[in-house]
Amino acid sequence: MTNTAPRTRAVITWLDATVAAVALAVVVAGITRLTESGLSITVWKPVSGVLPPLSAADWGAAFQSYLQIPQAQTVHRGITLGAFKALFWWEWVHRLIARLVGLVIAVPYFWFLARRQLPAIYRIRLAALPLLVAAQGVLGWYMVASGLSGRTNVSQYRLVAHLGLALVILVVALWSSASLRAARDGAAPPRDTGGWARLADAFALWTFGVILTGGFVAGLRAGTIYNTFPLMGGQIVPPGYWLPVGFLANAFENPVAAQFHHRVLALMTVCAAFALWLAARAKHAPSLVVKAQRNVALVASVQVGLGIATLLLSVPVAIAALHQLSAVVLLGAVVLAAHAARRC
C-alpha cells in the first residue's frame, strides 16, 4: 500500500458520506413538503435556529408567527398548537439535517485542504462543494420566503431550483468519489469511448431533467389529482391539460400538465434505460458498461413502479418518500454508468 492510499481512502469516505447526507436531506425535504410542514418556521436563523422552542412562551411565539401567514389562514385554518408542533418538528428536522450536510461537507474539506491531502486535480472541483452547500442554504430560505406572503405554498420554481442544486452537490461528490476509487484501484485513466460515453452523458442529463419535472409535480400538488393509471380522467391526454396561458406557463404552472409530462417522461426514461442495457449487451460493450446499464434499468423499473403506486394510493407519505429516494438512487446509477463508460 502506498503512502497516499490511506489519504485517498479518507477522501473517498468523506465524499461517500456527502452523497449519503445529501440523499437523506432530499428525502426529508420531500416528507416536509408532503406533510405541508415547510412554512411552519417563519424565520431564518442559521446559527441560533438550531435550537427548537424550549418553553411554552417560545412555542406560543412561534405559533403566533405561523398564524400570520396565508397558509395558516387557509390550508391549515383552525390549526391547534398541537398540530402546529407536528408540522414544526418536520421542518426543524429538515433544517437540522441541512446544517449537518453543511458540516459534513465543509469541515472535512478544509481539514483535507489544510493538510494537503486533496489530490491537486481535485482541489478546484471539490472547492465547489462548500460553496454550493452555502448557496443551498440561502436558496432554501429564498424558497421558504416565497410562501410567507401572497400565497399558501412556496414557489414551485424556487422549490425545483432548491432540489436541483442539492442534486448537483450529490453528483459532484459521487463523480469525484468514483474517480478517486478508480484511480486507487489502478483503473485506466478517462478516455474517449465514443458512442457509449456520449449516450451515457445524454441519458444522465435527461434523467436529471425528468427528476426536476417531479419537483414541479410536488410543488403544484399535482400528485393528488388523476390518481389512476395509465389513463388520466379516462383519456390519454387528460381534461384540463391545456390552459390558454402560453406553453411554458402551462407546462410549469398547470398541475394537470405537470403530472402528464412527468408520467410520459418517466415512462420514456425506463424504456430508454432498458434499450441502452439491451444495446450494450447486443453490441458486446465492455462488461463494466453492461453492468452499469443493467443497474440503471433495474433502478428505473423500481422508480416507475413506486411512482405508479404513489399515484394509485393518492400520495401516501411513506410510498412517496420511497419514490423520491429511488429518484436519487436512479440519478446516482446513471452518473456511475456515465463514469463507467470512460473507464473501459
DSSP one-letter code for 189: P
Asked if 139 and 162 touch (Cβ cutoff 8 Å), the reply is yes
What does the pLDDT average to over 208-214?
Answer: 98
203 pLDDT more than 50:
yes
pLDDT digits (tens, 9 = 90+) for 12-40: 999 999 999 999 999 999 999 999 999 99
pTM strictly above 0.95: no
Q: What is the DSSP string of 128-184?
A: HHHHHHHHHHHHHHHHHHTTSSSSSS--HHHHHHHHHHHHHHHHHHHHHHHHHHHHH
pLDDT digits (tens, 9 = 90+) for 237-296: 999 999 888 888 999 999 999 999 999 999 999 999 999 999 999 988 888 899 999 999
Q: At 235, give phi and psi (nearest 5°).
A: -130, 160
- Residue 270 grid coordinates: 425506463
189 pLDDT more than 60:
no
pLDDT digits (tens, 9 = 90+) for 126-179: 999 999 999 999 999 999 999 999 898 999 999 999 999 999 999 999 999 999
Confidence of residue 187 (pLDDT cuts 50, 70, 90): low
**218, 91, 84: which is closest to 156 by C-alpha?**
218
Asked if 140 and 49 touch (Cβ cutoff 8 Å), the reply is no
Would you tell me how many other CB atoms lie within 10 Å of the CB of residue 88?
Answer: 20
Which amino acid is it at 232? M
